[in-house]
Structures are given as C-alpha cells and as structure tokens.
Amino acid sequence: MIKRALTIAGSAARGGAGIQADLKTFQEFDVFGTTAVTAIVARNPRTGQGIFPQSWEAIEAQLVTIEEDIGIDAMKTGMLFTKEIIVNVTKWIQQSDIQNIVVDPVMIGKMGSALLKDDAMEAMQKQLIPLATVITPNMPEASYLLGGMELGSVADLKEAARRLFTFGPKFVLVKGGRLEGPAVDVLYDGEQFYVLEAPRIDTLNTNGAGCSYSAAIAAGLAKGQTVPDAVIEAKKFITAGIRHSLTFKQGVGPTYHAAYGKYDETSCKVTIEQD
Ligand code: PXL
C-alpha cells in the first residue's frame, strides 16, 4: 500500500512553502500526503499583513479525520505559530502511535513573516522537540533555540547539533545554508556526525526550501528508510529544487519540486565522523 505522510503546517498562498511545498514534495516521493492547516499565510505585499491562525478545534478536527480515515506512516510539523497549537499538537502526538516525527522548528519565513510567536519557543523546546525523530533547524533557528549561540562554521554546526541533541530528539540536522562555501548540513545521532556536502547554488530563490527538505525526510521515513538515508536523499532532492528554482513576478522565488525527478543530477558527499 502507498505510504502516508501528514504535514501539520501553515498554508502558504504563494505555493512554494508551507503545506503547499509539503504536498508537492510528498507527491514527488510517491507518498500520499495529508494536511492539517494551522494558519493561512497570505502576506499582502502592500500592507505586510496576513497571518490567519486556525482555532485548535479546527486543527484537531483535521487531525482526527486523518488519523481515523487515512492513517499516518510519518509526519512533519512546520509553522505551528502559537504556544497553544504547540502544546496541543504535542498532546495529540502523545496519544497517537506515530513513530516517525520530523519537527521543523519554523520561526521566520524568507519573505519576512514571523511564523512563531515569542512565547511559543519554550513549548517547542521542552514539549515538542523531545518527541521528535529528527529536528531540522537552520542556522538562525538553531541559534535561537540555543540562546543566541553564534554559528559561523561547520565546527559550530556540530557543536549546535550536540547541544540540541540534549533537548531529547533522536537525531538533529543543523542546516548550514547560510555558511560561506559549499552547502554543508550536519546530522547527529549522539554518537556520530554525518556531514553532508552539496554544491552551493547561487540563487536567492529558496522560499520553502526548509519546508520541502523536511517534507522529503518525512516521505523517506514513511517509506521505511533510516533517518540518515532519508536525510541524504532529501538533501539531493532539495539541492535539485534550488538549482532549478523559479522566478515569478516578485519576492523570493520558490524551489522547483519536480526538479529531482526530472533532472536527477545532484550529488551529495557524505562523511561519517565519530564524536
Ligand atoms: O519557509 C517557511 C514557511 C513555513 N510555513 C509557511 C510559510 C513559510 C514561508 O513563507 O509561509 C506557511
């Protein structure tokens, strides 16, 4: 039977990030996608306004129907926005029997929207992250979760991964997208580091890259891959998506979700190091 992946995230009207990115990614991996929308993001370029959160009642209704009617082989969380949503999603996961949980600690979108309220951070750290199979912070998110730790090198990514591991997830993936040089991400399981290196692609069009990367990991886990295998394939997928990213009318353009399946020329160098 086709495997099923759930995303709990925000709807990104522009189509490149959030729920839309997750569904497009699940489809590329031939995984059946289901969605619980936490908020509708439609930032009006003229006013800068436009986040419309959903009530917990509405979010829970989506989760219950997915759990009862479809089933869940893996899930990911994206934009959760409020403390209330994080606390309730955590409780819901605890009463479920979901094994594969990717937590993307989304905070600020590349279009500048604040996607997590300030008072929600503690719940993210203390409640949700400990349940995660893998968390996928980028450098600003890792820094924020670690009280302002400065990250400027691969050695810093490794140290951040070590510290984030103490929060309780099984794996930590710290993404070095903002480093100079090649695009290096560090995956850590408490014993070894998997240093993943892909070519850096010179583009500003990376809207939704983090969403799509974590969705690709969830798809791999749904299909029964190990975390390192799922992350390595997801890294190839997102590198292809960024290489063939799209320019539309204005703002930060999205990654191209079909690129990996279409062109498939991406390599990812993996080095395993004992801690
Ligand atoms: O890429 C981060 C992100 C996550 N979720 C939603 C978003 C964005 C960025 O635009 O809109 C809903």
Q: What are phi and psi of 164, to 5 degrees?
A: -70, -30
Helix/strand/coil (H, E, C) string of 154-175? HHHHHHHHHHHHCCCCCEEEEE
* For the chain, percent of residues with pLDDT exceeding 90: 86
**Residue 17 Cβ contacting ligand 1 at under 6 Å:** yes
Nearest to 17 by CA among 221, 245, 259, 196: 245
Chain segment 30-39, per-residue pLDDT in tens: 999 999 999 9
Residue 80: the pLDDT is 95
What is the overall mean pLDDT for the chain? 94
Q: Is the pLDDT of residue 264 over 90?
A: no
Q: Which atom of ligand 1 is nearest to the CA of 108?
A: 2
**Residue ID of nearest Cα to ligand 1 atom 9:** 109
Average pLDDT, stretch 48-60? Answer: 91
Q: Which candidate, 109, 133, 129, 113, places its Cα nearest to that of 121? A: 129
**Which residue lies with its CA nearest to atom 4 of ligand 1?**
18
Domains and CATH numbers, the chain: 4-274 (3.40.1190.20)
Read off the pLDDT of each residue in 45-49 and give the average, rounded to a whole number: 69
Intra-chain end-to-end CA distance of the chain, in Å = 39
CA distance 223 to 238: 18
| CA–CA gap between residue 154 and residue 148 (Å, rounded) | 17
Question: What would the mean pLDDT of 10-15 be, rounded to a whole number?
Answer: 94
More confident residue, 112 or 17: 17
164 has a pLDDT exceeding 80 = yes
Mean pLDDT of 118-129: 92
Q: At 252, list the tokens.
A: 């930060």
pTM of the model: 0.97
Residue having the nearest C-alpha atom to atom 6 of ligand 1 = 18
The finding on whether 78 has its CB within 6 A of some atom of ligand 1 is yes
Pocket lining: 208 vs ligand 1, CB cutoff 6 Å:
yes
Q: Which of 211, 212, 255, 257 to mutate to test the pocket of ligand 1 (most atoms within 8 A of CB)?
A: 211
207 Cα nearest atom in ligand 1: 1
Q: Indicate the pLDDT class of residue 111, thresholds 50, 70 and 90.
A: low
Quick one: how far is CA 83 from the chain centroid? 18
Cα separation of 88 and 8, whole Å?
12
Residue 108 clears pLDDT 80, i.e. is over it = no
CA distance 270 to 8: 30
Residue 117 banded pLDDT, cuts 50, 70, 90: confident
Report the nearest-CA residue for atom 5 of ligand 1: 18
pLDDT band at 161 (very low <50, low <70, confident <90, very high): very high
Q: Which of 107, 113, 136, 175 to mutate to test the pocket of ligand 1 (most atoms within 8 A of CB)?
A: 113
Residue 27 has which token pair?
């489809």
Q: Is the pLDDT of residue 113 over 70?
A: no
DSSP one-letter code for 14: T
